[in-house]
Homo-oligomer: A and B are copies of this chain.
Amino acid sequence: MVTMREVAAHARVSQKTVSRVFNDDPQVRPETRDRVRQAMSELGYVANPIAGVFRSGKVPAIGIAVPDLADPFFAAIVGAVDDAARAADMSTLVTSLGDDGDREADVVRTLLRRAPSGLVMAPVAGDQSYLESAAAGIPVVFVDREPTHLPGDTIRHDDAVGARRAVEHLMVQGHRRIAFVGDSADLPTTRERLVGYRAALEDAGLGLEERLERLGVLDEHSAVAAIAALQELPEPPTAVFSSNARTSMLLVQHVARAGFGFVSFGDFPMAAALTPPVCAIDQSPRTLGELAAQRILERVGRPATDLERMTTVLPVKLLERGSCRMP
């Protein structure tokens, strides 16, 4: 790789003059400048980006950590962050965290070793306090899920209200026995949606039943088992509320086969094309990503109060589609 020193030797000037020319310093005599430019192109000089980064100490990049890059919901967040980063002339560093929280701290620490200017993340672990030291000095924004044991900016959806609205919509359709099916109860989103589900039932005077709440649906197998268990109840439900899009994608066929009504928290690809079309609470993952990136960019370089606690809650709306109807 050609260095400024080599260009300087070739143009018979000092390295500093090359630096000046390279940075368009007007204080260079035109002849000198031309000679240096000449040398640069002859030698094919390309600035070493790492050297500059080294000096400034900040890498112009936004890090983003999500449970799974291939999940359509998180992929949309990542896409939005990347678009915002590119527009701000920054790069995007990504990493998948996986579903089980054990590796989160290590994976995030590895990401932070690249010294990005900011971090956007959808946490999976039950404790993000490690960020206090690991992410010291850089802005962090959480998306979709609030952090635990750490104050921190968050952009998320209104989980409780969305869940409540979904369940109320099922009740409007005439459903009285409504099941809740979700992934991990450790996730703040799932917990909040469960809160909304219960609140809607209680407000309607319907009472809660533990047997109607099935958690831990993370794969095809557990999806089948959950629906089967609901069907085998003495009094099966007539509808299912699924707490997130991924779970919904696993459930949808089995729910339809069982003849249950269905509402999903979170729209997903092809949901409207299924038979019946899947009624869903519409989230906007791209907006999560856009706002998070925007907040990171605002904070970068600022004196910064580091990890603050400014939570933005995005409203959700119901996409009325056929799957919620009574048979």
CA distance A78 to B93 in the complex (A): 12
Residues in B with CB closer than 8 Å to A253 are 272-273
Residues in B with CB closer than 8 Å to A268 are 269-270
Tell me if A68 and B59 are in contact (CB < 8 A): no
Tell me if A113 and B49 are in contact (CB < 8 A): yes
CA distance A82 to B78 in the complex (A): 13
CA distance A261 to B59 in the complex (A): 52
CA distance A180 to B191 in the complex (A): 47
Cβ proximity bits A118-138 to B, threshold 8 Å, 1 near / 0 not: 000000000000000100010
CA distance A75 to B72 in the complex (A): 8
CA distance A271 to B268 in the complex (A): 12
Q: CB within 8 A of A53: which of B50, B69, B82?
A: B50
Tell me whether A310 is interfacial, beta carbon within 8 Å. no
Tell me if B96 and A83 are in contact (CB < 8 A): yes
CA distance A76 to B71 in the complex (A): 9
Tell me whether A275 is interfacial, beta carbon within 8 Å. yes
Tell me if B82 and A96 are in contact (CB < 8 A): yes
Once A75-B72, A110-B89 are accepted as A-B contacts, the answer to whether A50 and B59 lie under 8 Å apart by CB is yes
Tell me if B61 and A50 are in contact (CB < 8 A): no
CA distance A115 to B79 in the complex (A): 21
Query: Taking each of A54, A59, A70, A272, which has the highest tally of chain B beta carbons within 10 Å of its own beta carbon?
Result: A70
Cβ proximity bits A253-280 to B, threshold 8 Å, 1 near / 0 not: 1000000000000001111111100000
Tell me whether A107 is interfacial, beta carbon within 8 Å. yes
Residues in B with CB closer than 8 Å to A110 are 86, 89, 91
Tell me if A94 and B82 are in contact (CB < 8 A): yes
Tell me whether A51 is interfacial, beta carbon within 8 Å. yes
Q: CB within 8 A of A269: which of B92, B107, B114, B249?
A: B249
Rounded to whole Å, the gap between the CB of A139 and the closest CB of chain B is: 17
Given contacts A1-B57, A70-B72, A82-B94, 13 further A-B contacts (CB under 8 A): A49-B113, A59-B114, A69-B75, A69-B78, A72-B72, A75-B75, A89-B110, A91-B110, A91-B113, A93-B93, A269-B269, A270-B270, A274-B274
Interface positions of A (Cβ within 8 A of B)? 1, 44, 48-51, 53-54, 57, 59, 61, 68-72, 75-76, 78-79, 82-83, 86, 89, 91-96, 107, 110-111, 113-115, 133, 137, 249, 252-253, 268-275
